Amino acid sequence: MNWKFIIFSVVKIAIVIGVVQGMVAYAVLAERKISAWIQDRVGPNRAAPPFVQYIPVVGTFLTRIGFFQPLADGLKFMLKEDFTPAGVRKVYFWLAPAIAIIPAMLVVAVIPFGSQLGHQQMVISDLNVGILYTFGIVSLGVYGIVLAGYAANSKYPFLGGIRSSAQMISYEISMGMSVIPVLLIVGSLNLSQIIGWQAQHGWLVLYSPVSFFIFLIASFAETNRLPFDFPEAEQELVGGYHTEYSSMKFALFFLGEYSNMIASAAMMVTLFFGGWTLPLWGLNHPAATLVAGIAHILIFLVKMLLFMVVFIWVRWMWPRFRYDQLMDLGWRRFVPLALANILVTAIILWMRS
């Protein structure tokens, strides 16, 4: 029993889950504030615990940027009544939110969020089949939605759940196939080695921009975000697959969606934008000092936050796709494009060798 490994892993898991959930809560706030500014209004700027008004300058500043709003939201979710509608299968009803959020949290287990701090690798588990594990886990996310739509004993959540799951499985295919050129170029599925390759040869987005494009759009579809949130929105007028769920279960769905966004953003940064590396100041190499290690983690976080801002920005910018246009795009345009991309990359690599 390698106690040292177990203890360090447990500490890393606790820290990563804490950080990810904190980022999810503040991603909700960021979405509300950014969407407000895009729409010429001010987002939440009043929620504050009572003692904050006595802190001179920082207190009012934090209140005005809505820093304490996620605390208020969390409190609301905990204090709301958690009911179970009549006529539902209780097992599925209680299981569905859990299945919706667990894959999102499992994906971050393989993502390297830094190089190393001292002797500790900054990745929870450095799997040699990292990408394959990620796509397997992402496919499990569909089950949560299917179960949620089915378990709520009502028509509209059922339809919303079916549409959403159909959309998700169609875009998983193009997402998986768009990563194959990355594998062909790098030669390994291990995410740390992909980052190492990018540190030496430059970011992968420059080598296969088409594959980044397909992966970006497929991750919008996977997380049910605009412009692909038809299952969530048309029934937003009615409900969607999370209609019948109240406080904590709805919070789990909500957190699951934002955790999926964070996991997709982290995957994009790792696969295409060099992860924790920067091509300047010698930050391309694994950290030798503690300061460099922390700098790597901060670089990763900043890149991921930029992608989150892109996710949020795109939502308030474009109209949403109609459902048949969405499926048409997924099957008839992205799958051939991804296949052609693989073929062209393979031919170029063969001609080079």
Partner 1 sequence: MIVNRKPLTFWERLYLPAIVGGFKVTARHLFRSLFGGKTVTMEYPEQKWAVPPDYRGAPYLVRDQGGNTKCVSCQLCEFVCPPKAIKIIPPGPAGPMADRPNAEKIPLEFEINMLRCIFCGYCQEVCPEEAIFLLKDYSLTGLTRGEMIYNKEKLLALGGEHGGIQKWKHKLQEAKTQEDFPVKV
Residues that bind partner 1 (CB under 8 A): 34, 36-42, 313, 316-318
Which C-beta is closer to partner 1: that of 47 or that of 159? 47
Question: Nearest distance from residue 36's CB to partner 1, in Å?
Answer: 8
Which C-beta is closer to partner 1: that of 40 or that of 81? 40
- C-beta atoms surrounding 146 within 10 Å: 21
Cα 88 to Cα 39, 83, 154, 243: the distances in Å are 40, 11, 9, 13
Question: Nearest distance from residue 337's CB to partner 1, in Å?
Answer: 12
Question: Nearest distance from residue 45's CB to partner 1, in Å?
Answer: 8
Question: Nearest distance from residue 30's CB to partner 1, in Å?
Answer: 13
Which C-beta is closer to partner 1: that of 296 or that of 315? 315
Question: Nearest distance from residue 313's CB to partner 1, in Å?
Answer: 7
- What residues have CB less than 8 Å from 251, skipping those under 6 apart? 77
Which C-beta is closer to partner 1: that of 43 or that of 239? 43
Which C-beta is closer to partner 1: that of 34 or that of 301? 34
In the structure encoding, which two tokens stand for residue 247, read together? 């406080």
Specify whether the CB–CB gap between 103 and 140 falls below 8 A.
yes
Q: What is the dihedral of CA 168, 173, 175, 177, to 10 degrees?
A: 180
Question: Nearest distance from residue 177's CB to partner 1, in Å?
Answer: 21
Which C-beta is closer to partner 1: that of 91 or that of 317? 317
**Separation of alpha carbons 307 and 8, rounded Å:** 29
- C-beta atoms surrounding 9 within 10 Å: 15
